[in-house]
C-alpha cells in the first residue's frame, strides 16, 4: 500500500515564503515523476510544478521565478519552496507521484492536500 503524506501549508502574508513537503511510503519499486497541483473551489486542479526522476523540472508560468521544486530520492520526498507569495497563490496544494509498486504495478497517487492561504 503506497501513501503520500504532505505538510507545510499555512497562513502567510503577501511576499512571505512557505516550504511544502511530501513523503511517499509503502511498497515502492520506482518513483517516476512527482509534482504539485493546486485547486480552488470552482476551478479545475492545475499543475504547479513537476520534477522527473532525473531532475528535469516544469512550472506553470504564474509561478516561474518564485517557486522551486526539488526531490530527495533517498527519502522518497518532494518539496516545493514558495517565495514571494501572492494572494492568488491561495489554494489547496496536492502532492502527486507516479509510482511503480513492488508488485510491478504502476499507478498515480495523491496526497491529502494542504491549505496555503496568502492574506493581509
Give 46's strand partners. 38
Percent of the chain with pLDDT over 90: 94
13: how many CB neighbours lie within 10 A of its CB? 10
Residue 16 has pLDDT above 90, yes or no: yes
What is the distance between the alpha carbons of residues 116 and 120, in angstroms, rounded to a whole number? Answer: 13
pLDDT tens digits, one per residue of 66-113: 999 999 999 999 999 999 999 999 999 999 999 999 999 999 999 999
Give me the chain's average pLDDT, please. Answer: 97
CB 118 within 8 A of CB 10: no
Amino acid at each position: 500500500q503506497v501513501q503520500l503524506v504532505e505538510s507545510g501549508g499555512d497562513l502567510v502574508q503577501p511576499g512571505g515564503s512557505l516550504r511544502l513537503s511530501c513523503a511517499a511510503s509503502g511498497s515502492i519499486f520506482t518513483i517516476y515523476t512527482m509534482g504539485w497541483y493546486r485547486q480552488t473551489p470552482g476551478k479545475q486542479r492545475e499543475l504547479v510544478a513537476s520534477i522527473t526522476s532525473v531532475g528535469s523540472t516544469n512550472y506553470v508560468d504564474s509561478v516561474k521565478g518564485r517557486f522551486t521544486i526539488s526531490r530527495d530520492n533517498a527519502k522518497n520526498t518532494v518539496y516545493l519552496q514558495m517565495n514571494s507569495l501572492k494572494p492568488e497563490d491561495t489554494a489547496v496544494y496536492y502532492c502527486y507521484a507516479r509510482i511503480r509498486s513492488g508488485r510491478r504495478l504502476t499507478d498515480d497517487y495523491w496526497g491529502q492536500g494542504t491549505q496555503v492561504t496568502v492574506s493581509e
